Amino acid sequence: MMFRIMDRVVESNKLNKAQSSIVAHTLFMAFSLILIIFIMSTMKNIKEDYQDFVGGVEIKEVCQRISAAIERIYDEPDYYSQTNETMCTVDLALPETIADTNYFVDFNGSDIYVRTMENPLLNYTCPTGYNLTFLGSTTGGMTRITRTDYSNGSTTITLSKI
């Protein structure tokens, strides 16, 4: 009789150990999932902060490079051409993306307007300071800026993707 009681105690202990092992594994998996979710959300927040900072710097740089190229090709004419004439072109190698997102450059009056098309949504406007006709747009990459003088005395600056 005593052996039967001992056998039941041993079987009961084995069952408790098996249940304890399953509970421990379940808790381990739950805590692992929580840790992975926490790490992923933290990394996403860090990436967004980085994109905002770097995107702000890059968007200003693109705007300033285009503005500097316009200043380089435009000078007040000493004479006016009798025909419509392309006076100068400049090819720029602009970045393909800003902060890992596509962007768009065009003119708003006499200002250069640069904006991203995806998150993070960034935009920047820099003035050219010239009272000219500005046409065209680009999405980055190789870009051509062209100055054309017309016989009526007007000047056009055109921005185009090559």
* Domain membership flag for residue 2: no
Q: Which domain holds residue 131?
A: 42-161
Q: What is the pTM of this model?
A: 0.74
* Domain membership flag for residue 12: no
* Domain membership flag for residue 30: no
Tens digit of each residue's pLDDT (9 = 90 or more) over 3-58:
555 555 555 555 556 567 888 889 999 999 999 999 999 999 998 888 889 999 99
* Domain membership flag for residue 11: no
If 0-12 CB within 10 Å is exposed, 13-18 middle and 19+ buried, where does residue 29 land?
exposed
* Domain membership flag for residue 5: no
pLDDT at 7: 53
* Domain membership flag for residue 91: yes
User: 115 and 122 in contact (C-beta within 8 Å)?
Assistant: yes
* Domain membership flag for residue 79: yes
User: 99 and 116 in contact (C-beta within 8 Å)?
Assistant: yes
Residue (of 48, 65, 73) closest to 114 by Cα position: 65
3-class state of residue 82 by DSSP: coil
- The number of distinct structural domains making up the chain is 1
